[in-house]
Structure 1
Amino acid sequence: MPIRYLKNKNVLILYPSGRFDLEQSRHIDQELQNLASTESSSNFLLNMEGVDYVNSYGLKVIVNTYRIFKNEGRLFALCNLSNATRKVFDLIGHFEMFEIFTTEKEGVDYLNNIENNSSLNTQ
């Protein structure tokens, strides 16, 4: 199943759903890589509201995507994590690696403001 997404200024908001397990992680990884290359000027916000379950394979996809974005000078943030997903991130020590927002609006506002501030600083 393709990941739904929409664009808000310079932020691509992604809406995965279901499980981030071995089987789905391969598909999600491919989708994220494709979108990252076609939306090369966008920051990404991964809205986890529709995700029921995340295991180590799913976390690997998220961490690897974050690292790619960081190396490219782009931002990759998360929002709407369930308590169970937050615990998984926290247990493996990756929770503080990410910008994590309670709501989509908070994430979009932050990512768009960061983009606006960085373009002001280069002028």
Structure 2
Amino acid sequence: MAMNHDTENGVTILTIDGNLDAEGTQAMEEKVVALLEGGETKLLFDFTGLDYINSSGLRVLVLAYQRLKKTSGSVAICGVKDYIQEVFEVSGYDRIFPLYGARADALAGM
């Protein structure tokens, strides 16, 4: 798994590539917590290059959502592949997280 972050139009974008398995989830959680503790209020997960996400990865998304909701922040996800979107739909997470096809659409929607 590879992970990068940058900021665009006041939104912190966390790009995740590869497989978000147990090891990757721990690294992502540490990064998300650090960003939130650093005062970030808008977080966009770019999953264009994500090939797999496990339940622990979904849990980290919920953690971000819960923390940002308390501070009137926002979280969104873009670039989700069809088979990963099915995971979001089956789990009901598509009703929690705004899902966008493209990064530009997500930035405009945040």
Give the match for residue 37 of structure 1.
Answer: 37
- Secondary structure class of the residue paired with 2:66: helix
Give the match for residue 8 of structure 2.
Answer: 8
Give the match for residue 85 of structure 1.
Answer: 84
Which residue identity is paired with 1:69? L
Which residue identity is paired with 1:18? G
Give the match for residue 119 of structure 1.
Answer: none
- Structure 2 unaligned runs (5+)? none
Give the match for residue 107 of structure 1.
Answer: 106
1:74 and 2:61 matched: no
Give the match for residue 57 of structure 2.
Answer: 58
Structure (1 or 2) with the greater strand fraction: 2
Query: What is the TM-score normalised by the length of structure 2?
Result: 0.91
Say whether the 8 Å CA contact 2:79–2:101 is kept in structure 1.
yes
Aligned identity (percent) is: 24
Give the match for residue 24 of structure 2.
Answer: 24
Say whether the 8 Å CA contact 1:2–1:31 is kept in structure 2.
no
- Structure 1 unaligned runs (5+)? 112-123
Q: Separation in 2 of the partners of 1:94 and 1:2?
A: 23
Point out 4+ residue stretches in structure 1 off by more than 6 angstroms: none
Q: Separation in 1 of the partners of 2:48 and 2:20?
A: 12
- Secondary structure class of the residue paired with 1:52: strand
Q: Separation in 2 of the partners of 1:98 and 1:87?
A: 13
Query: What is the TM-score normalised by the length of structure 1?
Result: 0.82
- Secondary structure class of the residue paired with 1:19: strand
Say whether the 8 Å CA contact 2:44–2:78 is kept in structure 1.
yes
Q: Separation in 2 of the partners of 1:41 and 1:61?
A: 16
